[in-house]
Amino acid sequence: MKKLSKSKFRTGLDCPNKLYFLSKGNLYYNKKIDDPFLESLAQGGFQVEELARLHYPEGRFIEAHPGDYEASVAETHPLIEGHENIAIYEAAFEFDGYYVRSDVVVKQGNHVKLIEVKAKSYDPNNDYEFIGKRSALTSEWKPYLFDLAYQYYVASNAYPNLKITSYLMLADKSKEAQIEGLNQLFRIPLKDQGNQRFDIERKVHSLEDVGNSVLSEKNVQSIIDDIISGKYKYHENLSFKEAIDLLKQVYFEEKYPNWPTNFSTCKKCEFRADQSDVPVGQELGYLKCFKTQHQWTDSCCSKPSAFEVWNYQGKNLIEENRLFIKDLKEQDFKVEPKAGQISTSERRWIQVEKRKDCDDSIYCLNEELRDAMRLWKYPLHFIDFETSSVALPFFKGGRPYEQVAFQFSHHKVLENGTITHQTEFIDAEPGHFPNFEFARSLKRALEQDNGSIFMFATHENSVLNAIINQLRLSKESDKDQLMVFFKSITKPTANNTESWTGDRIMIDLRDVVLKYYYNPLTKGSNSIKDLLPAVLESDNDLQTRYAKSIGDLGISSLNFDSNHIWITKEKGKVINPYKMLPPLFENWNSNEKDILISGISDIANGGEAMTAYAKLQYVDITDKEREELVSGLKKYCELDTLAMVMIWEHLEKLRTN
């Protein structure tokens, strides 16, 4: 029998139409499924749940399958009614078709703590963590609080005789791990070896084994009461009770609710994607919404839409039914030119104009780009970091979500055009905090000259800010020299209480692109993963150059053999070089693969790199598997800095034309 579970409630609360798509099984394509970054986050959440259970070590686990609603409720009921004092993991509650399983339930007499565990960081010193300065729920906590309100509503109605109080158990940013390898004490099984949430291999049995938990409980019952009473609403036109009743009807009756489309919500909808990405037999949910509400036909679905426009909020487009590129006007973007560069509003309008005209030619402010590039000092240095930030720290003294920098790649370009993969660093040794050795190695790589240093986006600047703060609190003998150097190449982030002005601040290559260059083949994206193939497709010289083997290119590589080729084509189109990265374990025999414990087959994006690092912290991983993962990480990171070099080569040609 159907029940409205809390996961379905959360999805439907965001947009009731999404719940309808879920009610249809696998009919509608969902791009969140198999997303490696989201998968990495989910696994971190499972580990936090396992640690949370150690807070109540005598707890009883509800063994019924999560999808077996009746059995899980039947298993929970005698524990609640038959025990004066008890802790229950995954307790199941049902009321009038509403159903939840709560992470931890603690009963003491007539009082019950309903605890929702989240792998989300929490600052106990922030007075505005949950309720902002304007007396409204903060946007980042709103979905979690409504999730807990739903659990409280179901549980309190299922057991009206009990006094239930709602808690969040969260990763506390003020706490430090008391032991090495906390993260690795809760091992996620491989997908084909068990349930990744409930079959975690726990290597400790009590909180004493971990020294002290990095989790804290927060009583949020007053906020939950205000949500249920209607003081705080998720959607302004729905009270809490109206919302849950609507969602139950949608799910039980599989009735399309025709919830009004909203530009910003629809733009980021997991049921919206390019038709080419949709497997045979599946449909795109968002198309149903727009066919129903905006009279789209099948032919409309292939037309360029306003959702493509970079960083655009689409004000009034839904109301005016002007959702196609052809319908957009210059005044929609309030275009305001900016001297010497492409303004944000100009960039959007350039994208629209070129899309309207089917014009794939590059737009570039050549003279302004030339002026900017004249200031760059040779040799040029291109760097990229791989980092990890997890709820349960890898190292003693670490805090939840503290930045761990375990790898960098560094390409160097001389004024005569010579390109070398100059240096790299990786430290994946289990139990070894890499940041300070990372810092020393990076300093050695960059301090040999005063050449310009390039990053792509601001991640590297943020990471170095974090390392500066870590050094300040450390006892490293060379911390002052390291801090002075890194302050010379960075600028303070917004949350840094200290200020400084570096004389060799890293140049953000993405920012250069945004200011002076637009390539229509990116379709508005400014991710390096999209910019690189667009650049290569647009530049015949680069295609010819990188169609040669590495051995013939004259560009050194620290990780690829001399026969590797970066540019190949399929049906006349350049294949994204990230798709040319060799898969892991491709030449291993079946016996060798049977003993793998990482569960990783590719490293071609940041989510997979983070997961690989976490697996490398396992002390029992074989040397051969460790070597393969490290090799994959090195190849991926090298491509990131080579991609920056390729983009620089492209810009260099434009500025000299």
φ, ψ dihedrals at 482, nearest 5°: -65, -45
Per-domain residue ranges of the chain: 33-246, 263-359
Residues 193 and 199: their CA atoms lie apart, in Å, by: 9
Q: β-strands 85-95, 60-61: how paired?
A: parallel
Summary mean pLDDT of the chain:
92
The per-residue pLDDT for 445 is 98
The CA distance from 189 to 301, in Å, is 41
Residues with Cβ within 8 Å of 173's Cβ and at least 6 positions away in sequence, in order, are: 121, 122, 123, 124, 399, 400, 401
pLDDT tens digits along 384-405: 999 999 999 999 999 999 999 9
Burial code (b: 16+ CB inside 10 Å, e: under 16) for 263-290 equals beebbebbbbeeeeeeeeeeebbbbbbb
pLDDT at 191 over 70: no
What does the H/E/C string look like for 149-186?
HHHHHHHHHHCCCCEEEEEEEEEECCCCCCCCCHHHHE
Pick the closest to residue 452 from 380, 541, 546 (CA basis): 380
């060798």: which residue's tokens?
592
pLDDT tens digits, 497-520: 899 999 999 999 999 999 999 999
The letter for the amino acid at 48 is V
Residue 218 in contact with residue 433, Cβ under 8 Å?
Answer: no
Q: For residue 272, give the 3-state DSSP assignment.
A: coil
Distance CA 122, CA 404 (A): 19
Is residue 196 very low, low, confident or very high in pLDDT (cuts 50, 70, 90)? low
Report which secondary-structure segment, H or E, holds 494.
none
Residue 205 has pLDDT above 60, yes or no: yes
Cα separations in angstroms, 652 against 90, 257, 428, 533, 546: 59, 53, 36, 17, 16
The structure's pTM equals: 0.92
CA count, 13 A, side-chain hemisphere, 631: 16
Strands 517-518 and 215-219 come out as unpaired
* CA atoms of 287 and 649, how far apart (whole Å): 40
User: pLDDT per residue over 627-637, tens digit each?
Assistant: 999 999 999 99
Residue 611 has pLDDT above 70, yes or no: yes
Res 473 pLDDT > 90? yes
Nearest to 492 by CA among 525, 469, 515: 469
Judged by DSSP in three states, 115 sits in strand
CA 215 to chain centre: 22
What are the strands of the beta sheet with 85-95, ordered from one edge? 60-61, 85-95, 98-108, 111-122, 163-172, 215-219
Per-residue pLDDT at 270: 92
Among 395, 394, 473, 403, CA closest to 438? 403
pLDDT band at 479 (very low <50, low <70, confident <90, very high): very high
Q: What's residue 592's pLDDT?
A: 80
pLDDT of 324: 92
Strands 98-108 and 60-61: unpaired
Tokens of 92: 């199941």
Report how far residue 580's alpha carbon sits from residue 564's, in angstroms, rounded to the nearest whole number.
9
Q: pLDDT > 70: what percent of the chain?
A: 97
The rounded distance, in Å, linking the Cα atoms of 613 and 427 is 9
Distance CA 257, CA 246 (A): 8
Q: Give the model's pLDDT for residue 193.
A: 58
Residue 96 has what DSSP assignment? T
* Cβ proximity of 577 and 596 under 8 Å: no
Encode pLDDT of 10-51 as tens digits: 999 999 999 999 889 889 999 887 666 666 666 778 888 989
Compute the average pLDDT of residues 78-102.
96
SS (HEC) of 460-484: HHHHHHHHHHHHHHCCCCCHHHHHH
Q: Of the ranges 167-176, 181-190, 252-261, 534-543, which one carries the lowest mean pLDDT score? A: 181-190
Q: How far is CA 543 from the centre of its chain?
A: 31
Find the radius of gyration of the CA atoms of the chain.
Answer: 27
Task: DSSP letter for 131, please.
Answer: B
Residue 89 carries which DSSP code?
A: E
> Alpha helix (H) ranges present in 237-284?
240-253, 263-267
What pLDDT, in 10s, does the model give residues 243-286?
999 999 999 999 899 999 999 999 999 999 887 788 888 988 98
Count of helices and strands (H, E) across the chain: 22, 17
Find residue 404's DSSP bridge partners. Answer: 388
**Using CA atoms, how far apart are residues 78 and 62, in angstroms rounded to an integer?**
11
